[in-house]
Amino acid sequence: MSVTELQFQAAAVGDAPVAAIQGRSQWQLTWRRLRSDKVAIASVGVIILMIAFALAAPLIAAITGHPVDQAYPTTGQNSFGNPVGPGVHGFLLGTDQIGRDLLVRIAYGARISLFVGLLTTALATIAGVTLGLVAGYFGGVVDAILARFFDAALAFPFIILALALASVFRPSLTIVIGVISFFSWAGISRIVRGQTLSLKEKEYIEAAKSLGAGPMRIMFIDILPNLLGPVLVLATLYIPTAVTFEATLSFLGIGIPEPAPSWGNILSEAQQFYQVAWWYIVFPALALLITTLAFNLLGDGIRDAIDPRTERIFAGSKATRKRGRRKRGQLSLDQAILVGQQDGQVTDLPITNAGGDVTS
Amino acid sequence: MNMVRFLIRRIITGILVLWLVATGTFFLFFAAIPVQSVARNLAGRAASPAVINQVITYYGLNKPLIVQYGHFLDKLVRGNLGQSFLTQEAVTTIIKQDLPPTISVVIGGVLLWLIVGLAVGILSATRARSLFDRFATVGVLAGVSAPTFVVGELLIIFVFVQLNDAGISFIQTGYAPITSGVVPWLGSMILPWVTLAIVQAAVYTRLSRGSLLDTLGEDYIRTARSKGLTERRVLYRHAVRSAMTPVVSQLGIDVGALLGGVLVVEQVFSLHGLGYQIVNAIPSGDQPVVIGLVLLAAAFVVAANIIVDMSYALLDPRVRIS
| Chain A residue with minimum CA distance to B19 | A152
Q: Which residues of B touch A252 (CB under 8 A)?
A: 263-264, 267, 279
Widest Cα–Cα separation across chain A = 91
The pLDDT of residue A343: 35
By Cβ distance, the residue of B245, B279, B305 closest to A358 is B245
Helix (H, G, I), strand (E, B) or coil at A293: helix
Q: Which of B157, B215, B253 to mutate to probe the A interface, most A CBs <10 Å?
A: B157
Q: Hey, is the C-beta of A204 within 8 angstroms of any chain B C-beta?
A: no
A-B CB pairs within 8 A amount to 171
Q: List the single best residue of B11, B126, B150, B151 to mutate versus A (max A Cβ within 10 A).
A: B150
For residue A114, what pLDDT is reported? 92
Residues in B closer than 8 angstroms to A171, CB to CB, are none
ipTM metric: 0.75
Tens of pLDDT, residue by residue over B232-262, are: 888 888 888 878 877 877 787 777 667 667 8
The long-range contacts involving B277-282, CB below 8 angstroms and separated by at least 24 positions, are B277/B94, B277/B98, B278/A160, B278/A163, B279/A163, B279/A252, B281/B84, B282/A160, B282/A163, B282/A164, B282/A166, B282/A167
The predicted model scores a pTM of: 0.75
Domains within chain A, CATH numbers bracketed: 3-35 (no CATH), 46-306 (1.10.3720.10), 317-351 (no CATH)
Q: Report the run of H or E that residue A264 belongs to, with start and end.
A: helix A263-270
Interface of A with B in 116-145 (CB under 8 A): none
CB-CB under 8 Å, B142 with A289: yes
Residues in B touching A323 (Cβ below 8 Å): 213, 217
pLDDT confidence of residue A121: 93
* pLDDT for residue A139: 80
Cβ neighbour number for residue A225 with a 10 Å cutoff: 10
Indicate yes or no: CB of A164 within 8 angstroms of CB of B268: no
Coil, strand or helix: which one is B90? Answer: strand
> Averaged in consecutive runs of 10 residues, what is the pLDDT profile of chain B (322 residues)?
78 84 79 67 70 75 78 80 79 86 88 90 81 79 83 86 78 75 82 88 84 83 86 83 78 73 84 84 78 83 78 67 54
Question: Minimal Cα distance from A247: which residue of B?
Answer: B147
A356 touching chain B per CB within 8 A: yes
Q: B4-30 burial string, b = 16+ CB within 10 Å, else e? A: eebeeebeebbeebbebbbebbbebbb
- Which one of B28, B129, B137 has the shortest CB-CB distance to A317? B129
Distance between CA atoms of B310 and B308, rounded to whole angstroms?
5
Comparing CB atoms, the residue among A293, A317, A350 nearest residue B141 is: A293
Contacts of B44 (CB under 8 A, 6+ apart): none
Q: Do A300 and B141 touch (CB under 8 A)?
A: yes
Binned average pLDDT, 10 residues per bin, chain A of 360 residues: 60 54 73 81 92 88 77 70 72 74 88 92 92 85 75 65 71 84 79 83 87 86 84 87 88 81 87 81 90 88 71 36 38 45 32 28
